């Protein structure tokens, strides 16, 4: 695997190159500017680009745009800090085709920071390898459901109380195509889990809010979930939905152990919704690695009338989470990305 490191800081070029070169059978090449990177890409083949967010001259976002125009299938991972401004621009890059982001090492321990950086680059390389080997990356077949699944529905439930969404790798891009199409008149609360670390989900919520009729915010403990609003699980916390004494939906955040190595986890949200005595729910499972969400859909279908939409393979960045749902025949519809927003409006008769 050939990895192109693009960073105008000599220190970070060295750190990123050393971390990338530690991967088995990996060769890292470093350049100091976006202009140099684009020139190398004209004449050499690379399997992954690690691209600094802020650089003198051409910014990381500008370089990403040019790479996507000339090399649309080349995986690009943004390298950024975790400040508010960095997070905001990183979310914009993910919505424009970057497959993932990793944080620059910080903290007092150099050794610990390098180990985290190596692990992050290893994950990015695995994702790039997955994307390179097949147009529709697959995940291992999930285990059989632990409990019986309710029968497959012939039509959506007539009464609906919640709209639940789960997404991972490729999420910001997928959400930027779906959320702006949703009507503010959707008569139920919308709760969403995007696999993302702390510090970035707030920026994701703010960016989506600017492009949507809905009110979109990062969820906080005790928030009421109301129609016309979309709440995003904060990075680093599981989000559960509960009913209060008045029968209203409220958010409960927990620091329980990760599920499927994820916190927040889609399964945790879907499982909690199944305990809310719902008349009906819609569950949407979008692009992402792994199988998070499939167990949750199974438990939700066993608990209440549920209509499940899974994103199709062709429009997924990684066809893992929706595939896990489809492999267990938990889906009611499989739709391309561009059809999901209009379909959700139609399900609510809007």
On the question of pLDDT at 180 being above 80, the answer is yes
On the question of pLDDT at 171 being above 80, the answer is yes
pLDDT at position 129, please? 87
Q: Would the CATH topology of 2-133 be identical to that of 162-347?
A: yes
pLDDT at position 217, please? 97
Average pLDDT over all residues of the chain: 91
Nearest to 266 by CA among 246, 252, 250, 284: 284
On the question of pLDDT at 145 being above 50, the answer is no
Task: Transcribe 267-326 into DSSP letters.
Answer: HHHHHHHTTS--S-EEEEE-SBSS-TTHHHHHHHHHHS-EEEEEE-GGG-SSBSHHHHHH
pLDDT at position 184, please? 95
On the question of pLDDT at 207 being above 70, the answer is yes
The secondary structure of residue 75, as a DSSP letter, is -
On the question of pLDDT at 153 being above 90, the answer is no
Token pair, residue 118, equals 């190596």
pLDDT at position 108, please? 60
CA 214 – CA 216 distance, rounded (Å): 6
What value does the mean pLDDT take over residues 127-132?
Answer: 85
Nearest to 342 by CA among 211, 180, 210, 228: 180
Q: How confident is the model at residue 107 (pLDDT cuts 50, 70, 90)?
A: low
Where is pLDDT greater, at 21 or 151?
21
Q: How confident is the model at residue 147 (pLDDT cuts 50, 70, 90)?
A: very low
Long-range pairs for 210-213 at CB < 8 Å and ≥24 separation?
211/176, 211/179, 211/180, 212/179, 212/180, 212/182, 212/184, 213/182, 213/183, 213/184
Where is pLDDT greater, at 89 or 82?
89
On the question of pLDDT at 149 being above 90, the answer is no
pLDDT at position 82, please? 58
What value does the mean pLDDT take over residues 180-206?
Answer: 94
pLDDT at position 141, please? 43
CATH of span 2-133: 3.40.50.2300
Where is pLDDT greater, at 172 or 25?
172
Global pTM value: 0.85
Catalytic positions: 168, 195, 292
Residue 269: count of CB within 10 angstroms of its CB: 27
Nearest to 170 by CA among 2, 326, 295, 311: 311
| Class of the CATH-defined domain 162-347 | alpha beta
Summarised one tens digit per residue, pLDDT across range 48-72 is 999 999 998 999 999 999 999 999 9
- Cite the beta strand spans of the chain per DSSP E: 2-6, 27-31, 48-52, 76-80, 100-103, 162-167, 190-194, 215-218, 224-225, 229-232, 238-243, 249-254, 281-285, 306-311, 333-335
What is the residue extent of each domain of the chain?
2-133, 162-347
On the question of pLDDT at 130 being above 90, the answer is no
On the question of pLDDT at 11 being above 60, the answer is yes
Summarised one tens digit per residue, pLDDT across range 241-255 is 999 999 999 999 999
pLDDT at position 135, please? 47
Nearest to 101 by CA among 65, 51, 137: 51
Q: How confident is the model at residue 152 (pLDDT cuts 50, 70, 90)?
A: low
Question: Residue 42 class from Cβ within 10 Å (0-12 exposed, 13-18 middle, 19+ buried)?
Answer: exposed
On the question of pLDDT at 136 being above 50, the answer is no
């Amino acid at each position: 695997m050939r990895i192109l490191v693009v960073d105008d800081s000599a220190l970070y070029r060295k750190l990123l190159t050393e971390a990338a070169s530690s991967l088995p059978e990996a060769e890292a090449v470093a350049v100091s500017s976006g202009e140099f990177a684009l020139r190398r890409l004209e004449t050499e083949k690379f399997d992954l680009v690690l691209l600094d967010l802020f650089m003198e001259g051409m910014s990381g976002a500008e370089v990403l745009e040019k790479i996507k125009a000339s090399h649309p299938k080349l995986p690009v991972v943004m390298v950024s800090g975790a400040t508010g401004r960095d997070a905001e621009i990183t979310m914009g890059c993910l919505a424009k085709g970057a497959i993932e982001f990793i944080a620059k090492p910080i903290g007092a321990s150099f050794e610990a920071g390098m180990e985290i950086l190596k692990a992050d680059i290893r994950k990015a390389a695995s994702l790039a390898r997955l994307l390179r080997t097949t147009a529709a990356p697959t995940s291992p077949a999930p285990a059989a459901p632990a409990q019986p699944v309710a029968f497959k529905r012939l039509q959506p439930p007539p009464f609906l109380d919640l709209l639940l969404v789960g997404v991972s790798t490729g999420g910001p891009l997928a959400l930027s195509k779906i959320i702006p199409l949703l009507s503010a008149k959707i008569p139920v609360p919308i709760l969403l889990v995007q696999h993302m670390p702390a510090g970035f989900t707030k920026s994701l919520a703010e960016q989506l809010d600017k492009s949507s009729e809905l009110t979109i915010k990062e969820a906080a403990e005790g928030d009421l979930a109301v129609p016309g609003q979309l709440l995003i699980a904060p990075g680093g916390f599981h989000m559960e939905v509960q009913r209060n004494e008045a029968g209203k939906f409220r958010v409960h955040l927990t620091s329980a152990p990760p599920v499927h190595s994820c916190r927040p986890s889609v399964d945790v949200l879907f499982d909690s919704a199944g305990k809310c005595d719902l008349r009906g729910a819609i569950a949407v499972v979008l692009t992402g690695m792994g199988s998070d969400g499939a167990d949750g859909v199974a438990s939700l279908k066993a608990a209440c009338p549920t209509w499940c939409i899974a994103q199709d393979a062709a429009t997924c960045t990684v066809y893992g989470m929706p595939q896990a749902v489809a492999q267990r025949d938990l889906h009611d519809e499989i739709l391309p990305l561009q059809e999901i927003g209009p379909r959700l409006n139609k399900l609510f008769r809007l």
